[in-house]
Structure 1
Amino acid sequence: MYGADDLARDLDVSRETLDKLKVYAGLLAKWQKAKNLVANSTLDDMWRRHFLDSAQLAPLLKERFGDREVTLLDIGSGAGFPGLVLSAMGVATAHMVESNGRKCTFMNQVSRETGANATIHAQRIEEMDIFPVDIVTSRACARISQLLDWAAPFLNEDTEMWLLKGEIADEELTEAKACWKMNVDRFKSLSDPTGVILRLSSIKRL
């Protein structure tokens, strides 16, 4: 079974950072019993399904942005994946957008106990005030075209979207390109053989 030490090895995560992620994992296991934050079927494999899946963005973002801590908008954050993981790792100042109150309460506790630089927005993204962001992330939330529509007010010429997607990513991209022009870079997922990480840049509505 994939575990914390495997993640540290695969992504060269420091002991201090791994300790923060272990706190996060402990809280997830504790809260899951009562709050059903993630699918129960994924809990036994949480280090691969949730933490590796999210944390694998960290080296890619560091390669793209260097040591600069980027401002991240995470749409449909759920239990905090991927944005809160990236914030706990020191990669990003994260704005987590989630309309489910119990999930926001959970993320606030994780943020406090891990020292993550994160703001939890307990509302729908359509209701939010607009502010500049470097990247938009999302995981298991909506199709790409819907994510682009939600993110549109926050996008400027330099904003990128980093999306964790599954085996129908090409279908979603084809659909999105009917209304949007963008550059697409693909990266192989470390956590899911059928998954892909998409980097969308130079995003403009047609």
Structure 2
Amino acid sequence: MIVSRETHERLIAYEALVRKWNARINLVAPSTLPEFNSRHIQDSIQIFDHVKLSEGNWVDLGSGGGLPGIVVSIYAQKAPLTVSLVESDQRKSAFLRTVIRELSLQNVSILTDRIENVPPLTANFISARALAPLSVLLPMVRRHMHQDGTAMFLKGRSWKAECDEARKEWRFDVTSFPSKTDPDAAILKITGVSHA
């Protein structure tokens, strides 16, 4: 994906902040820092191959160090989209506030609370990365996603088993796309979530 110079500069600045803070707060596994761009930035960017940014609100659940939520915000600076980062850890929220301030991100806010305590957000888009199994994520999606919304989950090698397990309690439509950054991983695009 071709990005503007401004977007590219913000992504570089974001990586620098993660590297600076990671020694004090475990934002990403230290072993992944040498490949931060390919392991984290590019992994997050690829969701844009499968969703068209449109007007509305994007909610990133369990944002942690801002992946993919901060990346979504950087990409959506000129889109009519608001981004909400839900993160219960006070220190990680402090990091996210620093990123927003230093990168001058205009479209993003932080909700420092547990996902289940946040009032329903009626999100047009929901994302999560390395947060929880699908069977745990779907109740969160049901609570926070608009009925016509789309959830985008970056999942590891056990994604098929997670889908099978989740179908015991939930009905949902899922389209899987192979990950560009990990041959065993997938991006799951989920709609139509309801109790089975």
Q: What TM-score do the two structures reach when normalised by structure 2?
A: 0.92
Query: Is 2:97 the partner of 1:97?
Result: no
Aligned residues: 192
Aligned-partner residue type, residue 80 of structure 1? G
| CA shift for structure 1 position 178 | 0.9
CA RMSD of aligned residues (A): 1.4
Q: Does 153-162 or 138-147 show the bigger shift?
A: 153-162
| CA shift for structure 1 position 200 | 0.6
Contact 2:121–2:145 under 8 Å retained in 1: no
Q: Does 176-185 or 69-78 show the bigger shift?
A: 69-78
1:131-161 CA distance string (max 9 Å, x none): 2210111000100010011222223320111
Contact 2:142–2:193 under 8 Å retained in 1: no
Distance 1:53 1:182, change over 3 A: same
Gaps spanning 5+ residues in structure 1: where? 1-10
Aligned-partner residue type, residue 100 of structure 1? D
1:31-64 CA distance string (max 9 Å, x none): 11222221101111100111011111123222xx
Query: Is 2:59 the partner of 1:73?
Result: yes
- Structure 1 equivalent of residue 125 of structure 2: 135
Q: 2:96 aligns with which of 107, 120, 127?
A: 107
Q: Which has the higher strand share?
A: 2
Aligned-partner residue type, residue 102 of structure 2? E
Aligned-partner residue type, residue 99 of structure 2? V
SS in 1 for 2:153: strand
Q: Which has the higher helix share?
A: 1
- Structure 1 equivalent of residue 137 of structure 2: 147
- Structure 2 equivalent of residue 35 of structure 1: 25
Aligned-partner residue type, residue 97 of structure 1? V
Q: Does 133-142 or 86-95 show the bigger shift?
A: 86-95
Aligned-partner residue type, residue 30 of structure 2? N
Q: What TM-score do the two structures reach when normalised by structure 1?
A: 0.88
Aligned-partner residue type, residue 179 of structure 2? S
Gaps spanning 5+ residues in structure 2: where? none
